[in-house]
Every structure is written in C-alpha cells, then in structure tokens.
Chains A and B, each alone.
Chain A
C-alpha cells in the first residue's frame, strides 16, 4: 500500500450563517459544512471526491488547501515514520490548489498572471515557461487574460496550481470548460504527475471519465465522508456485489424465469438488440440462457460504478433523488440542525 502523505483527522468546518433576531441582529449560527472528516492521501495516488451538489466537496478542498481554518480536528503531514500537525502556512507550502472556474480577466498577460502567483510562492521565472508548455499555453504567453477562452483559463489555473512543484494537488472540477481532446490530455498529464509521486485529489461531477485513473474514492454527502478507499474497498464497505452486463440480438428473454426481481436491475430493448444488468455474477446463468437458445453477444462482469455506489451510500435511487439539491430525503444519516455559536 502506498505511503500516506497527508491525513485529515476529525476535520470540521461549519459555515457561519446570519440568523438575526429582533434584539440580536448580529446573531450567527453554525451552518452546513464538513463534519469530522477523516481522510488519508496516499503518495502518487489520485483520490476522487464524489458527491452530489452541495455535498461539501469544495469546502473540504478549501480546508485541505489551508484556505478555510479547521474549527476542530487536525491535518497531519506524514514523513517516513513520523507525522506532524501542519499549520495553514505549511500546508499551503506543500499543496497546489486549482479552484473551480477562475475567471481570469484584465489586460494583464498570461505570463504576468503566473508571475504574480509565482512571486507569492517564490518560484523563479524560468519555471513559468515550462509550466505554460506543460499546459499547452506557451503560444499564448503574451496574450491578455481578456482574450482567453474558458478552456485556456482552466489551463492557466492548472499552471498556477502547479507552481512551486507541490506534493499534493487539489483540483476542483478541473475538466469544466475543457474540450474532449484537452480533457483526455489533462488526464494523461495527471498520470504523469502521479508517476512523479504527486498526490492528487479531484472533485468532479464528471466522475465516469476519471474512473480509469482514480486510485481511491471518497463518497461525500451533506458534509460527511460516507465511504473511502479503493473502488473495490468502497464497494465492499457498501455491500455492493459485482454486476453482470449481458446483451444479445433479437427480443430480450423473459428473465423472470431465471432470476428473482431483486437480481435483475434493468432491461433495455432496442430495435435489434437488448441489454440487461444483473445484480449478481452467476456463471451458470450464461449456460442456462445459451442452452435455452438465447443469442448472447456479450457477457461482462464489472464493478459497481460510482453512481451506484453513491446511491447505495445515500440509500436512495437516482429516481428518488432526482435534481433536488441537498434534499432532506436523500440521507438522514445525521440530522442537520443550526446551532448558535
């Protein structure tokens, strides 16, 4: 198992919300946030932070970036056999943070924008050119920020996060605004960085595209980390079994003859072929189906996907959750209640 480089222990941060009263207009209460997060970052591994909107992914990343102070708990840096509590400044020294959607603007050039951040990190100018080459912005080095497209701005933010060669990289929705080719190149770049030992945390809604490179996964909901580990470990924690995807030509067979309703997840029928997802891996079923003359074109056993894991963790299905943000129906794991400071 890879070496742990950073560890969050009971890290808590709750947003302060105004809740004025007639005779106490300055009153504030503790609102939502992150509750007792425990998380380990492993060297050279990508951790995918997954959760619905409002789950607290950005808040957690900001805590890990040293932007939001921890109200409870600590962040430890692990070195060989020892670990030490990190102050905000020390944390910021080893972490590179890429916020979501930085809207670079103004007449300042790309180079000047990076130099400004570089000076705050005490990075020398020669590193800037290399970074711009790495993110594919070298040809735009003297372009004013106003002239950059959203994708270029995203690349510039990544370059800014990489300044100072951080050991840990925190990426908040890094694929937003990138075209498909750039997104693929971005994923390749992440692979190169992990090869160099950089630990990466990615918060993204487009998780499916990242599954191939994610080493570990943390499922978040309502400010809590529900499950964390490798994909297999998370699936085990959630008692999720491997799924079987079957497809064939013609009409879909009547699966009720072979499986109970709990074992069959879904069947899709198109004009010429069908596809079914089974909730279990049952090699004998394949033999039975073939023996009954059903034409099977593919039979794949796969891990549960991230969405299935998230639904399992929250105890709800996609239909139940719908587009509701932070629905109280989603997961009453720990009732949220505002508390006066």
Chain B
C-alpha cells in the first residue's frame, strides 16, 4: 500500500466514524434548516432585503444563502472535530497510534482529511439541494463556474474551521478546553469580527458603518481577508461583479491559500512533536 493510499484509507475510517456519529445525527436537522432552508427563503420571488434590495441572479441567492454555511456548517465542523486529538490522547489510543510505523505527518493529514470530509459530504449534498431549490424557485440555473466557486469556497471554509479545531484539540488535554477554543474562534470570526472592524475603523479615523463611504468599504474588505468568514465571502463575491470592496479576485484566492496552508502546516508540525 502506498503512502497516499494509506492516508486515504485511514482518513476514510476516521470520516466514517464521524459521519455516522450521534452528534452528526443531531446536527443534520440544523444543517437542513440552515442551508436548503436559507436557499428556499432567499429565492422567494417576493423577498425584499433590508434597503429594499431584491436578489436578481441565482448566484446572488446562493451568496445570501451562504449565511447558512457560515452560521451552521462551520459550527458543525467545530463540533465534529473538537475531540479528534484530545479524546484519543486522554484515552491512550493516541499513544498506540503514535507507536505505529505510519509517520506522524501522514497521520495528521489523514486526521485533517477524515474530519473535513465528515462535514463536507453532508454540506455538499445540502448545497446540491440548495441549487435545485434555487432553480425551482427562480427558474434559472447558476452558471457552472458560479457553482464551482460556491462549492469550492464552502469546502475551504469548512477546512479552515476543521484545522483550527484540530489544532486546539492537539494543544489541549481536556476536551472542554478544545471545544471552548473552537467555539470561541467561531464566535470571534462570526460575530465579533464586526467589532474588530469597527475598532480599527475608529482608530483609523474612518466613519463607521457608512456603506456609501468608500474608505469604510475598503477597510472592511481589507480586514475581512484576515478572517476566514471574510475570505469566504470575498471568494463568493468574485462571481458577483456588482459588489466591489476594493479586493481583486487573486487577493482573495491567495488569502484562501494562506488560510489553508498555514494552519495545515502548524497542525502537521504539532502532531510531529505531540507527546502522548
């Protein structure tokens, strides 16, 4: 068996364990409500958003429905992976795994892939339903590129949250601390980032919350690159030409790469040094 297939086999085993876990059964209704539910709501022909705005294209509806991913799927990613390392460490299974000939870096990659795919598969299935709902309600398909960007971006944001949680799980010996760290980060990027943006704007002398003020829009767009949720939205906005927040597509994709590679590298490095 090659190294690659060994990683994939191990990842598949970890994925199945999480995919059919009790907590997944508990989270599925939440995902169901958040992802296709939002697609259903935002694709309503009579919907009027704050400011009197009405979504015009399927991609715009999917963009608004991505709130379901930000609020629901990312939280599920945290809840699915928070004990990936800490539980095995507390039970002694990690010690047994570390004594196997499979290199630690490969074990780490398998853990990333396993935990990521466990949340990715149900989310992607629900995204497919969302696209079908949008098609049904609006009578129009999103373009292939729109769909591709939507699915890839969603996969990336889930990966980032899985990576943060795995890192937290590898540094903590108690599962409570691991989940607190994961949920704390989720809270920071989902709810508190607006506060961070506001504080930076205040310190920079930019008028706060003025949607028509170019300086505010550029500042908010720039700071969003430092948040995984912000990068996710930037990636989706690459398919919405009417939105301009001063960030060009390549910047968004570079930051997506950074958010992927840095935590992955940190986690692999952490697993190479972890003590049972």
Contacts and interface: CB of A to CB of B under 8 A. Distances in A.
Interface of A: 62, 65-68, 89, 92-93, 95-97, 99-108, 112, 115-117, 119-122, 157, 160-161, 164
Contact of A119 (B9, B90, B99, B275): B9
Nearest to A64: B99
B13 A119 contact: yes
Contact of B92 (A89, A95, A102, A161): A102
Contact of A92 (B1, B17, B21, B101): B101
Contacts of B6: 119-120, 122
Contact of B91 (A68, A102, A119): A102
25 contacts: A65-B99, A67-B98, A67-B99, A89-B101, A89-B103, A97-B95, A97-B96, A99-B92, A99-B99, A99-B276, A102-B95, A103-B92, A104-B91, A104-B93, A106-B17, A117-B100, A119-B10, A119-B13, A120-B10, A120-B97, A120-B100, A121-B102, A122-B6, A160-B96, A164-B101
Contacts of B154: none
A179 B98 CA distance: 28
A152 B179 CA distance: 30
B232 to A, nearest CB: 32
A95 B100 CA distance: 9
B96 A157 contact: yes
A105 B91 contact: yes
A229 B93 CA distance: 32
Contacts of A92: 99-101
A97 B17 contact: no
Contacts of B100: 92, 117, 120-121
Contacts of A116: 10, 13
Contacts of B13: 112, 115-116, 119
B107 interface: yes
Contact of A102 (B10, B17, B22, B96): B96
Contacts of B90: 103
Contacts of A157: 92, 96
Interface string B55-99: 000000000000000000000000000000001001111011111
Contacts of B93: 102, 104
A67 B102 contact: no
| Interface size class of chain B, counting residues whose CB lies under 8 Å from the partner chain | 20 to 34
A-B pairs, 8 with minimum CB distance? A102-B92, A97-B99, A120-B100, A120-B102, A103-B91, A99-B95, A65-B99, A92-B101
Contact of A101 (B92, B275, B276): B92
Interface string B1-41: 10000100110010001000110000000000000000000
Contacts of A66: 99
Which of B22, B90, B93 is packed against the most chain A CB atoms within 10 Å?
B93
Contacts of A115: 13
Nearest to A97: B99
Contacts of B10: 116, 119-120
Contacts of B22: 107
Nearest to B22: A107
Contacts of A112: 13
A102 B87 CA distance: 12
A257 to B, nearest CB: 57
Contacts of B17: 106, 108
A15 to B, nearest CB: 8
- Report which residue of B13, B90, B96 has the largest number of chain A beta carbons within 10 angstroms of its beta carbon: B96
A62 B95 CA distance: 9
Nearest to B93: A102
A108 B88 CA distance: 13
Most chain B C-beta atoms within 10 Å of own C-beta, residue among A116, A119, A120: A120
A120 B275 contact: no
A119 B100 CA distance: 10
Contacts of A97: 95-96, 99
A108 B98 CA distance: 20
A102 B99 CA distance: 13
Given A67-B98, A117-B97, 13 more contacts: A62-B95, A93-B101, A97-B95, A99-B276, A102-B91, A104-B93, A105-B91, A112-B13, A120-B6, A120-B97, A157-B92, A157-B96, A164-B101
Interface in B101-159: 101-103, 107
B212 to A, nearest CB: 46
A103 B275 CA distance: 17
A174 to B, nearest CB: 13
A67 B89 CA distance: 13
Contacts of A117: 96-97, 100
Nearest to B103: A89
A275 B121 CA distance: 73
B6 to A, nearest CB: 7
Pick the most buried of A62, A67, A106, A161: most chain B CB atoms within 10 A of its CB: A67
Nearest to B106: A120
Contacts of B275: 67-68
A120 B276 contact: no
Interface string B262-276: 000000000000011
Contacts of A96: 99
Nearest to A94: B101
A100 B93 CA distance: 10
Nearest to A118: B100
A164 B17 CA distance: 24
A223 to B, nearest CB: 16
A67 to B, nearest CB: 5
